[in-house]
């Protein structure tokens, strides 16, 4: 009886009905101050397998995870033919060891057949305007590499240029009401690179 309940939970988790957090302890070694996207995917598969008792069919990540607390990377897991987004966060960095948390999105990715997102150009436009209002001066540049999902707490990492320096910016969806997405923008404390 317990086994079938566990199996149902694993299937629901893989299908997106359950949020999965990998407890601290999933970690990887760092090379060049970042964990490769392949290693992040490998750790995500292992962590999710341990958490729900079943390994996803595949996990792919967009880019390497910077070895800095709070940095994130978006990944996609596939289970039973369904794709689901996931955010991987660097929770702690100790020398060459990065501990990660994995948070699976609440709903499966429907391949664009109804999923809503804010276009990356619009995220950049709003970010530029918000930062200009906060500091009294527009950044020189503001770009985002991907659209922001229209989902509370969804995040996308952007870049701004000001005074010849580049800064990372986290754009977060703070509310979604009737197709309108309100966003918050947090600029990293120090320039990148």
More confident residue, 18 or 61: 61
- φ, ψ dihedrals at 84, nearest 5°: -145, 135
Task: Using pLDDT thresholds of 50, 70 and 90, give the confidence band for residue 193.
Answer: low
CB atoms within 10 A of CB 152: 14
Residue 79, pLDDT score: 81
Tell me the pTM: 0.46
Burial of 49 (0-12, 13-18, 19+ CB in 10 A): middle
Model confidence pLDDT, tens digit, residues 70-100: 888 888 888 877 788 888 888 888 887 888 8
Strand ranges inside 125-179, DSSP E: 141-143, 148-149, 155-162, 165-177
Task: Using pLDDT thresholds of 50, 70 and 90, give the confidence band for residue 176.
Answer: confident
**Residue 55 to residue 78: CA distance in whole angstroms:** 10
Residue 8, pLDDT score: 31
Model confidence pLDDT, tens digit, residues 141-165: 999 999 998 888 899 999 999 888 9
Provide the residue count of the chain. 193
């Amino acid at each position: 009886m317990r086994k079938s309940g566990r199996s149902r939970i694993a299937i629901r988790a893989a299908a997106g009905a359950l949020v999965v957090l990998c407890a601290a302890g999933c970690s990887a070694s760092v090379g060049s101050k970042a964990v490769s996207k392949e290693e992040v995917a490998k750790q995500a598969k292992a962590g999710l397998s341990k958490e729900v008792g079943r390994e996803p069919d595949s996990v792919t990540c967009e880019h390497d995870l910077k070895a800095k607390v709070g940095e994130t990377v978006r990944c996609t897991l596939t289970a039973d033919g369904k794709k689901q987004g996931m955010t991987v966060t660097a929770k702690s960095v100790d020398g060459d060891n990065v501990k990660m948390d994995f948070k699976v999105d609440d709903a499966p990715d429907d391949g664009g057949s109804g999923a809503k997102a804010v276009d990356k150009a619009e995220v950049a436009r709003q970010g530029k305007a918000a930062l200009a209002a906060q500091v009294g001066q527009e950044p020189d540049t503001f770009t985002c590499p991907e659209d922001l999902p229209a989902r509370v707490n969804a995040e996308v990492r952007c870049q701004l240029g000001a005074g010849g320096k580049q800064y990372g910016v986290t754009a977060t969806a703070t509310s979604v009401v009737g197709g309108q997405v309100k966003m918050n923008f947090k600029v990293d404390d120090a320039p990148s690179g």
